[in-house]
């Protein structure tokens, strides 16, 4: 079977489509971060994108091309959260009916927001059901298009524009490495395309939560491996069970590699973002920053782009992050009673 992979032309087309609607999010630098790593780091702040995550880009690029004659009942998406939020918001903008299949243990804030955007939210149990099966059952009964979080060329091309914009702002030739959060791999694949499109020779690295290193293991074995657990990391946005097919077809040959960070390292990064960047970052959105803080030697004496990919975090978890002890290697310090 031939895969319908996006190419640099699709990225250029996605930029044209997204130009008037997506937020051109800022690229920030931080003296504290450069000091902590000994490198020069640029942060692309997709936390400031519509619906608080880069997912808006792929969703809009995909849904704006929907053939409503073929799919009069709109779309259905399965999502660990941010993709669902993005599809919900885009559906509201384009007047397309949206159904979202989300795990029952997704952050409450993400479920509530999808509903606020007018989507019908269908909750499922990660342990006894697969989201793909539920989405397929819905699409068999209604004339809806399935909008997967990664397995679609327009989604990948949309996500690519994150890095395209950043390379344009920084200067494509300056950036030596690009570090992005990696779940299903759509952002990583888009980043590879964006680097290629910009004529940059930057290495693209995916960062995964510890214990959910399906992309790292898949790169090693050459086939799509599955995570042993379905949950158990605070990085709810990155718990796809296996690399998505299309992204992996791009990531396999193009990704420099994939590395992991622990929950404690992620909490420390969220706290760093609060204190030093004054930004709210969710766990899955903070993994690349966490890697820079935990392994500064990989960033020393070079120019790197880090994507902060999302900022939808429940306040209880944010409070936990604020209580981590930055001098204790990200460990949570003593409980605080206000």
Q: In whole angstroms, how close is the CB of 311 to its own copies at the nearest point?
A: 3
172 binds its own copies (CB under 8 A): no
278 binds its own copies (CB under 8 A): yes
91 binds its own copies (CB under 8 A): no
| Binder of its own copies out of 6, 81, 311, 330 (CB under 8 A) | 311
Q: In whole angstroms, how close is the CB of 257 to its own copies at the nearest point?
A: 29
69 binds its own copies (CB under 8 A): no
280 binds its own copies (CB under 8 A): yes
Encoded tokens for 305: 């782009």
297 binds its own copies (CB under 8 A): no
Q: In whole angstroms, how close is the CB of 52 to its own copies at the nearest point?
A: 6
Phi, psi of 69 (to 5 degrees): -70, -40
Contacts of 230 (CB under 8 A, 6+ apart): 126, 127, 239, 241
User: Which of 181, 190, 188, 173 has its CA nearest to residue 61?
Assistant: 190
Cα dist from 276 to 85, 148, 269, 272, whole Å: 28, 35, 10, 6
123 binds its own copies (CB under 8 A): no
Please tell me the distance from the alpha carbon of residue 259 to that of residue 237, in angstroms, as a whole number: 16
| Binder of its own copies out of 125, 322, 329, 331 (CB under 8 A) | 322
315 binds its own copies (CB under 8 A): yes
Nearer to its own copies, 122 or 332 (CB): 332
Please tell me the distance from the alpha carbon of residue 79 to that of residue 186, in angstroms, as a whole number: 13
Find the part of the chain contacting its own copies (CB under 8 A) among 67-75, 178-186, 250-258, 330-338: 330-338
Contacts of 312 (CB under 8 A, 6+ apart): 51, 52, 53, 81, 82, 85, 107, 109, 110, 113, 282
CA contacts within 13 A on the Cβ side of 49:
38
| Binder of its own copies out of 34, 275, 301, 329 (CB under 8 A) | 275
Adjacent-strand bridge partners of 161: none
Q: Is 308 exposed, middle or buried (0-12, 13-18, 19+ CB in 10 A)?
A: buried
| Binder of its own copies out of 1, 69, 140, 316 (CB under 8 A) | 316
Report the site for its own copies in 8-47 (rule: CB under 8 A): 23, 25-26, 28-29, 31, 47
- Note the residues at the interface with its own copies (CB under 8 A): 23, 25-26, 28-29, 31, 47-48, 50, 52, 109, 274-275, 277-281, 311-312, 315-316, 318-320, 322-323, 336-338
């Amino acid at each position: 079977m031939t895969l319908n992979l996006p190419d640099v032309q699709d990225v250029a087309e996605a930029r044209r489509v997204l130009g008037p609607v997506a937020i051109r999010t800022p690229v920030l630098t931080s003296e504290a971060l450069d000091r902590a790593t000994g490198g020069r780091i640029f942060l692309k702040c997709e936390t400031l994108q519509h619906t608080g995550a880069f997912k808006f880009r792929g969703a809009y690029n995909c849904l704006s091309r929907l053939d409503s004659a073929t799919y009069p009942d709109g779309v259905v998406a399965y999502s660990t959260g941010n993709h669902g939020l993005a599809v919900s918001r885009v559906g509201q903008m384009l007047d397309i009916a949206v159904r979202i299949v989300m795990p029952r243990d997704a952050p409450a804030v993400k479920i509530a927001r999808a509903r606020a955007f007018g989507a019908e939210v269908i909750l499922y149990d990660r342990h006894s059901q697969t989201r793909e099966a539920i989405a397929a059952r819905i699409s068999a009964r209604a004339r809806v298009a399935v909008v997967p979080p990664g397995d679609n060329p327009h989604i990948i091309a949309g996500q690519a524009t994150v890095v395209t914009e950043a390379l344009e702002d920084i200067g494509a030739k300056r950036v030596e490495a690009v570090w992005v959060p990696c779940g299903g791999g759509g952002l990583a694949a888009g980043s590879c395309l964006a680097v290629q499109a910009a004529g940059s020779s930057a290495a693209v690295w995916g960062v995964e939560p510890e214990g959910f290193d399906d992309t790292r293991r898949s790169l090693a074995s050459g086939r799509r491996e599955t995570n042993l657990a379905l949950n158990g990391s605070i990085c709810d946005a990155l718990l796809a069970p296996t690399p998505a097919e299309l992204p992996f077809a791009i990531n396999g040959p193009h990704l420099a590699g994939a590395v992991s960070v622990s929950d404690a390292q992620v909490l420390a990064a969220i706290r760093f973002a609060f204190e030093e960047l004054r930004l709210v970052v969710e766990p899955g959105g903070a993994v690349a920053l966490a890697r820079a803080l935990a392994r500064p030697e990989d960033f020393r004496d070079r120019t790197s782009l880090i994507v902060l990919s999302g900022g939808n975090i429940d306040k209880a978890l944010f409070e936990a992050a604020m209580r981590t002890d930055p001098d204790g290697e990200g460990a949570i310090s003593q409980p605080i009673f206000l």
